[in-house]
């Protein structure tokens, strides 16, 4: 009986030991694994699963709204090609940032940014990549004698001419290579980087057949400039400055259909034109006044404003730099 008991005890022990050992090994293996049991109840863990659920919910919502939108409009909408000349100065990043935030709301928009620079700058490159927009990044340096110098009034020399012409050149070259040739749908708009655009203006210009026009706020020394419409046609222009110009309006006040741009490969901005005649130099070869299409409720609403941003005062910065204590140049502003 003693031996039997001994045997029994021994096997019991062995069994017991093996079971415990297995349990230990199992627990050790659990150490490296992720524990997805909710009983741990750590706040961070909860936050993660909550955020994850949130993310999936938003994803589903996005997919649903995209699915309903896509069959409806996307293929038929003409693309708006926005040509923006830009140049390096303190407020450049801020201006391009808020401009990109507006453009991000506009579907089927292609932003053509042309830098006044001998090469692409990293500031603009990074900004465009992060913006989430469809874009083309170009550059064209203005000749020194045509460039505004420090202290020159802004109206002394025409600005952005070479850059806009470069944008047009690229657009023509790029679109020619597309299927559909000269018969493509699209609208070309020249948007300066310091103006303010409402979202409606882009929808208004999308239906441009030749050249469409609308009022522009805060320009020409007045609250707004606008074409005067009678019987659905533009008969004259309401402006306070040199109304005898062929097209006395601001760059932001018109859009040209892509077809017209492609059909007239020689049409571009003339840098030699007298002050205020820049827009006319481009439009003269393209359209006559009675062919203009008035938008914005027969040119009675202001949907774009010619805002200008103040040059930030850098007195203290300059004083510090003279002492060699200027702010860290590595921080991009």
Two structure tokens written together for 34:
């992720």
Residues 6 or more apart whose CB falls under 8 angstroms from that of 293 comprise 208, 209, 210, 211, 212, 213
Q: Rounded distance, CA 184 to CA 257, Å?
A: 9
**Cβ atoms of residues 247 and 256 within 8 Å:** no
Q: Rounded distance, CA 160 to CA 273, Å?
A: 13
Is 307 a known ligand-binding residue?
Answer: yes
Give the shortest CB-38-to-another protein separation in angstroms. 11
**Cβ atoms of residues 124 and 115 within 8 Å:** yes
Q: Rounded distance, CA 41 to CA 27, Å?
A: 20
95 versus 286: smaller Cβ distance to another protein: 95
Give the shortest CB-182-to-another protein separation in angstroms. 19
Is 36 a known ligand-binding residue?
Answer: no
7 versus 333: smaller Cβ distance to another protein: 333
Catalytic residue among 279, 291, 293, 310: 279
Is 85 a known ligand-binding residue?
Answer: yes
108 versus 257: smaller Cβ distance to another protein: 108
Residue with tokens 């979202």: 199
Is 197 a known ligand-binding residue?
Answer: no
Give the shortest CB-285-to-another protein separation in angstroms. 25
Give the shortest CB-210-to-another protein separation in angstroms. 25
Burial zone of 33 (CB within 10 Å; 0-12 exposed, 13-18 middle, 19+ buried): exposed
Q: Is 204 a catalytic residue?
A: no
247 versus 305: smaller Cβ distance to another protein: 305
Residues 6 or more apart whose CB falls under 8 angstroms from that of 143 comprise 162
Contacts 24+ apart (CB under 8 A), 317-323: none
133 versus 286: smaller Cβ distance to another protein: 133
Give the shortest CB-265-to-another protein separation in angstroms. 17
What is the sign of the dihedral through the CA atoms of 103, 104, 110 and 114? positive
Is 308 a known ligand-binding residue?
Answer: yes
Is 78 a known ligand-binding residue?
Answer: no
Q: What is the DSSP letter of 147?
A: S
| Annotated binding-site ranges | 85-87, 116, 159, 164, 192-194, 306-308
Q: Which residues are annotated as a binding site for UDP-alpha-D-glucuronate?
A: 85-87, 116, 159, 164, 192-194, 306-308
- The residues carrying an active-site annotation are 279
Q: What are the binding residues for Mn(2+)? A: 194
């Amino acid at each position: 009986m003693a031996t039997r008991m001994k045997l029994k005890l021994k096997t019991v022990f062995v069994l017991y030991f093996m079971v415990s050992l297995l349990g230990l090994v199992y627990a050790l293996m659990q150490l490296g694994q992720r524990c997805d049991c909710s009983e741990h109840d750590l706040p961070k863990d909860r936050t993660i699963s909550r955020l994850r659920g949130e993310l999936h919910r938003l994803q589903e919502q996005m997919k649903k709204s995209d699915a309903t939108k896509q069959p409806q409009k996307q293929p038929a909408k003409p693309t708006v090609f926005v040509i923006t000349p830009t140049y390096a100065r303190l407020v450049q990043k801020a201006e391009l940032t808020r401009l990109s935030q507006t453009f991000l709301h506009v579907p089927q928009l292609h932003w053509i940014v042309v830098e006044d620079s001998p090469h692409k700058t990293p500031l603009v490159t990074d900004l465009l990549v992060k913006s989430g927009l469809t874009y083309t990044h170009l550059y064209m340096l203005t000749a020194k004698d045509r460039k505004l110098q420090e202290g020159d009034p802004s109206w002394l020399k025409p600005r952005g001419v070479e850059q806009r012409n470069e944008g047009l050149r690229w657009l023509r070259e790029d679109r020619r290579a597309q299927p559909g040739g000269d018969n493509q749908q699209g609208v070309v708009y020249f948007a300066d980087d310091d103006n303010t655009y409402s979202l409606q203006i882009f929808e208004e210009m999308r239906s441009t057949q030749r050249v469409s026009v609308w009022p522009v706020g805060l320009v020409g020394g007045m609250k707004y400039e606008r074409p005067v419409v009678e019987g659905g046609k533009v008969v004259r222009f309401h402006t306070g400055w040199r109304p005898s110009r062929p097209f006395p309006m601001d760059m932001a006040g018109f859009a040209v259909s892509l077809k017209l741009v492609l059909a007239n490969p020689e049409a571009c901005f003339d840098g030699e034109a007298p002050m205020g005649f820049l827009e006319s130099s481009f439009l003269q070869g393209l359209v006559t006044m009675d062919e203009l299409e008035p938008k914005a409720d027969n040119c009675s609403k202001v949907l774009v404003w010619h805002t200008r941003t103040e040059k930030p005062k850098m007195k203290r910065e300059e004083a510090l730099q003279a002492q060699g204590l200027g702010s860290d140049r590595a921080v991009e502003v």
